[in-house]
């Protein structure tokens, strides 16, 4: 692969050349919020166990 063909492929990819259809239930805000809440829960559990020492 040459540099020009690689850059052309990257530009096509960045422009959204390949259309992907996401499932409607995968809302980015809900997924990110759920992950954030899960991490906060894990942090709370870790802190509560370390407080006993």
CA distance 40 to 13: 34
Q: What is the pLDDT of residue 14?
A: 72
pTM: 0.50
Q: What percent of the chain has pLDDT over 90?
A: 28
Q: How many domains does the chain have?
A: 1
CA distance 10 to 3: 11
In the predicted structure, residue 41 carries a pLDDT above the cut 90: yes
Q: Domain limits at 7?
A: 3-50
Q: What is the pLDDT of residue 32?
A: 92
Q: In sequence order, what E strands does the chain have?
A: none
Contacts for 12 with CB less than 8 Å, ≥ 6 apart: 18
Mean pLDDT of 3-22: 72
Mean pLDDT of 8-35: 76
């Amino acid at each position: 692969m040459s540099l020009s063909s690689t850059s052309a492929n990257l530009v096509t990819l960045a422009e959204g050349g390949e259309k992907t259809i996401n499932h409607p239930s995968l809302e980015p805000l809900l997924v990110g919020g759920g992950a954030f809440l899960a991490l906060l829960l894990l942090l709370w559990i870790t802190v509560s166990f370390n407080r006993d020492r």
